[in-house]
Structure 1
Amino acid sequence: MIEELAVVVKIENHQVWVESGQSSACGACMQKASCSTDAIGSVLKKKPVPVDSDIQLKSGDQVMVAIDENLLLRASVLLYLAPLIASFGGAGLAGWWFAGTANAELWIAGSAVLSLLVSLWLINKVQNLLILNYYARPVVVRKI
């Protein structure tokens, strides 16, 4: 679990909204780019974010918010690696299919772009279907 300190901003209809309570030390740290401590904070500090909580909270409470690393890894693979593989696969298939024909390079480039766009569309559709079964948001782990 990747954890981040946050502050409860409001509670509305049994929904907890938090903002990042990131310390100022992270701003001056030399390891900020490779540190997972700032991973959730970079999202939370922009605006209030809804989180799930089983703990009784009130506005102003400091809480520890966490999200599963495996979820972030799977999302990264889905959003970065799958379209890349689809694009190279489409280009390779077009290269094999149109080998030796006139304008083969145009067909290869067009197929790569089309494969990329189709993969992004499919990812969007799969995400919309799976979001009904499992919608992962940060959760409040403990009150500080």
Structure 2
Amino acid sequence: MIEENAIVAKIEHNQVWVESKPKQGCGGCLQKSSCSTSVLDKFIKKRSIAVDCDIELKTGDEVVIGISEGILIKASLLLYMLPLVVMVLSGAVAEAFLPSGYEHGDLVIAGTAISALLLSLWAISKLQQSFFYTFFSRPVVIRRSTD
């Protein structure tokens, strides 16, 4: 189980929404001005995510959330490998159907492969909310944080 500390942002409709707990090390670090983690933290908006919870909580509680390693590996393979496989296969199909000696064959193959990659990334982003949350389980609240 992969675990992360979080803070309960809100509770509505029997749903618990959490935000990542700020990292303690960045505040006192002398390399903060040149560190990419610190710079990204300023620009990336904090997002709340819905998690499953069987514990009675209130807004502001510090909790430990977790997700199974197996689910994370399956999701990573689907979200990273599938678009690459689609890209390679579409390029191979385009090459197979092009007549030999076609003048701009390389551009057609590359365009087809890149188009298929972008289309698969778009499809995954559209299916993410409706299909992937039911196929893969969501993170769960394991316990209240003892820190």
TM superposition score normalised by structure 1: 0.69
Alpha-carbon distance in 2 for matches of 1:82, 1:57: 38
Matched residue type, 1:58: K
Q: Detail structure 1 runs of 4+ shifted over 4 Å in the superposition.
A: 26-29, 124-129
Q: Is the 8 A contact 2:83 2:120 kept in 1?
A: yes
CA distance in 1, matches of 2:127, 2:60: 37
Paired position in structure 1 for 2:4: 4
Structure 1: tracts of 5 or more residues without a match: 30-44
Distance in structure 2 (CA, Å) of the matches to 1:26 and 1:71: 30
Query: What is the CA–CA distance in structure 1 between the aligned matches of 2:58 and 2:130, rounded to whole Å?
Result: 34
- Structure 1 CA distance for aligned equivalents of residues 19 and 125 of structure 2: 28
Report which stretch shifted further, 74-83 or 112-121.
112-121
Letter in 2 for 1:114: S
Task: Give the drift of 1:55.
Answer: 0.8
Structure 2 residue ranges without an equivalent (≥5): 30-44
Counterpart-to-counterpart distance in 2, 1:58 and 1:128: 26
Q: How many residues align?
A: 129
Give TM-score, length-normalised by structure 2: 0.68
For 2:40, the equivalent position in structure 1 comes to: none
> RMSD value over aligned CA atoms?
2.9
Whole-Å separation in 1 of the counterparts to 2:20 and 2:8 = 9
Change (3 A) 1:50 1:84: same
Q: Secondary structure, in 3 states, of the residue corresponding to 1:100?
A: coil
Q: Per-residue deviation at 1:3?
A: 0.5
| Residue pairs, 1:17-36, within 5 angstroms | 17-25=17-25
Residues 130/10 of structure 1: CA separation in 2 closer, same or farther (3 Å cut)? closer
Taking a change above 3 Å as real, the CA distance of residues 78 and 65 of structure 1, as seen in their structure-2 partners, is same
Residue 84 (structure 2) aligns with: 84
Quick one: distance in 2 between partners of 1:27 and 1:70? 33
Q: Is the contact between residue 4 and residue 22 of structure 1 (CA under 8 Å) also seen in structure 2?
A: no
